[in-house]
Amino acid sequence: MTFNPLTEKGIPLEKQLRNWRELDVEPLDPDATDPYTRCRVIVMNGIEIESIMFSHHMARTCPDPEVKRQLAYTRYIEAQQQKVVNWLLPPIASTLETTIAYEQVAVDLTAWIARMEPDPYLTQAYEFGVLEDFDHLYRYANLFEMIERRKAEKVVDGLTEVMPGRPTKMHHRHPYDNVRDPYDRNKVNPLSRLHALTVMSAEQQTMNFYMNVGPQYMEPIARQLYVEIGMIEQEHVTHYESLVDPGETWWERLVHHEYNEVYLYHSFMTQEPDPKVKAIWELHLNMELEQLRVACDLMRRFDGREPEEVLAPELPAPVTFEPNKEYLRHLLDTQIDLTTLGAGYVRDAHERFEKLQEQIHGGEEPPSERVIDMHRERFGTEYRIETEGPHPVKSLRQPEDKR
Ligand SMILES: [Fe+2]
Ligand SMILES: [Fe+2]
Ligand SMILES: [Fe+2]
Ligand SMILES: [Fe+2]
């Protein structure tokens, strides 16, 4: 059965407001939760935060008091949705445990989107980025065992492998080389817009998260690793946001934000095994349908265009959390040595890249390398989860696998 968000009926806006009791959701049980349920929570938190911040930015450029009030009302509801979603996270999870889940999201969400993306230039952007978050997962997993004496397999549960990706120290590029070319809003497949918005929102939340939690640790290596990876997440936001056509009008962008929320809540509702969480996805879906209808009305009034001109006629195939191990191994095998030059990709280090590398590393090994060395010193080996065999790149294999 096809689901057309433009004709489905939602919950009237004035009925969307919830009281404190309704907002007080029971958090997930960390020992009994599917890791991908936690991943869906993390994605939807990032999506709701983007919708709030987007609405604030739009309001700041909006001279019409009636529209400003309308935006303020919907934004208040979005803020309630964000609380409900993010307050599902298990309260006893440590910052590092949540960090590992954030990187698992970046890996399996971006890999899935890369597999589904119809435009080859956009696919390349996701394939490039995913190998970096894949490496972050490995660095944080080593830190996790070192300072908390716990293993990342408890968090990712064998669904996502943990091993070196493109080495983190190579992610520090000149900022000019993080700017990609945008898609063309008049030609782009509607699905590509949704993909770009989703990955951008998820990376933005990761950037915000590391900016805030990084200084909570006492151990110098932990503080340093959050500085280093925090800087890279900002590069990732630059990389992904530059894919979006800057010529989209505010109304068009508003409609896309609401449509994407509908798409993702609908996607996650259909695959959620936890009944309490599923009920939240369903409730929020029904809220977003009405928020979308209101946004479409604004677009007709102020942009003089029909939303059908820019939106997909029906929801694309649901965004799915599932293992992407073979696909990631294929990317490791073929794209690990890529870097960027201008809006394109190259295999060789170039002058601008090397200059920045020299400046940022100052002749020393960065925290992302030292964390692995320290782990090897203390445990005799590094932490990995290689469920599908030795690393596909021979030089990145463990010593016992190199033979
Ligand atoms: Fe929302
Ligand atoms: Fe990352
Ligand atoms: Fe990232
Ligand atoms: Fe919304």
**One-letter identity of residue 109:** L
Helix pair angle (325-335, 95-116), 10° resolution: 80
Please name the residues in contact with 28: beta carbons below 8 A apart, sequence gap of 6 or more: 37, 38, 41, 88, 89, 90, 274, 277
Ligand 2 centroid – CA 239 distance (Å): 13
Give the burial class of 153: count Cβ atoms within 10 A of its Cβ; 0-12 exposed, 13-18 middle, 19 or more buried: middle
* Residue whose structure tokens are 């309630």: 80
Quick check: 241 and 122 in contact, CB under 8 A?
no
Q: Give 298 Cα–ligand 4 centroid separation in angstroms.
A: 14
SS3 391: coil
User: What's the gap in Å between 229 CA and the centre of ligand 2?
Assistant: 7
Question: How far, in Å, CA of 143 to CA of 149, rounded?
Answer: 9
Phi/psi for 344 (5° steps) reads -115, -170
The pLDDT value given to residue 348: 86
**Does pLDDT of 353 surpass 80?**
yes
* Amino acid, single-letter form, for residue 191: L
Beta-bridged to residue 385, according to DSSP, are 162
Confidence of residue 151 (pLDDT cuts 50, 70, 90): very high
Q: Which two tokens stand for residue 184?
A: 């063309």
Asked if the model's pLDDT at residue 402 lies above 90, the reply is no
> Which residues fall inside 5 Å of ion ligand 1, going by CB?
48, 51, 78, 81, 261
Query: How far does the centroid of ligand 3 lie from the alpha carbon of residue 305, in Å?
Result: 35
What residues have their beta carbon closer than 5 A to ion ligand 2? 133, 136
How far lies 38's CA from each of 32, 55, 81, 304, 321, in Å? 11, 26, 16, 41, 11
d(CA 332, CA 101): 21
pLDDT at 403 over 70: no
Q: Is the distance from CB of 112 to CB of 324 less than 8 angstroms?
A: yes
Query: What is the band of 1 on the pLDDT scale with cuts at 50, 70, 90?
Result: low
Q: Among candidates 272, 225, 380, which has minimal Cα distance to 39?
A: 272
| φ, ψ of residue 341 in degrees (nearest 5) | -140, 115
pLDDT at residue 400 is higher than 80: no
For ligand 3, the distance from its centroid to the CA atom of residue 171, given in whole angstroms, is 10
DSSP for 112-150 reads: HHHHH---HHHHHHHHHHHHHHHHHHHHHHHHHHHHH--
Mean pLDDT of the region 82-92? 95
Q: What is the C-alpha separation between 231 and 311, in angstroms, rounded?
A: 34
Q: What is the DSSP string of 168-227?
A: GGGG---GGGGPPPPPPTTT--HHHHHHHHHHHHHHHHHHHHHHHHGGG--SHHHHHHHH
pLDDT for 289-343, tens place per residue? 999 999 999 999 999 999 999 998 889 999 999 999 999 999 999 999 999 999 9
Residue of 116, 54, 112 whose CA lies nearest to 261: 54
- Report percent pLDDT > 90 for the chain: 95
Per DSSP, helices labelled H in 4-94 are 20-23, 35-60, 65-86
DSSP 307: G
Mean pLDDT of the chain: 96
User: What single-letter DSSP state applies at residue 104?
Assistant: H
Whole-number Å distance between alpha carbons of 323 and 328: 10
Tens-digit pLDDT profile for residues 101-111: 999 999 999 99
- Using the mean position of ligand 2's atoms as its centre, give its distance from the Cα of residue 233 in Å: 6
3-state helix, strand, coil in the chain (%, to 5): 65, 0, 35
Mean pLDDT of 23-39: 94
Q: Look at the pTM and tell me if it is higher than 0.85.
A: yes
Q: Are strands 344-346 and 339-341 parallel, antiparallel or unpaired?
A: antiparallel
Terminal-to-terminal C-alpha distance of the chain: 53
pLDDT of residue 32: 87
310 CA distance to ligand 4 centroid (A)?
18
Point out the ligand nearest to the CA of residue 110. 3
Please name which of 45, 48, 72, 79 lies closest in space to residue 58, comparing C-alpha atoms.
72
- pLDDT band at residue 31 using 50, 70 and 90 as cut-offs: confident
Question: Residue 126 Cα, ligand 2 centroid: separation in angstroms?
Answer: 13
> Distance from the CA of 80 to the center of ligand 1, in angstroms?
8
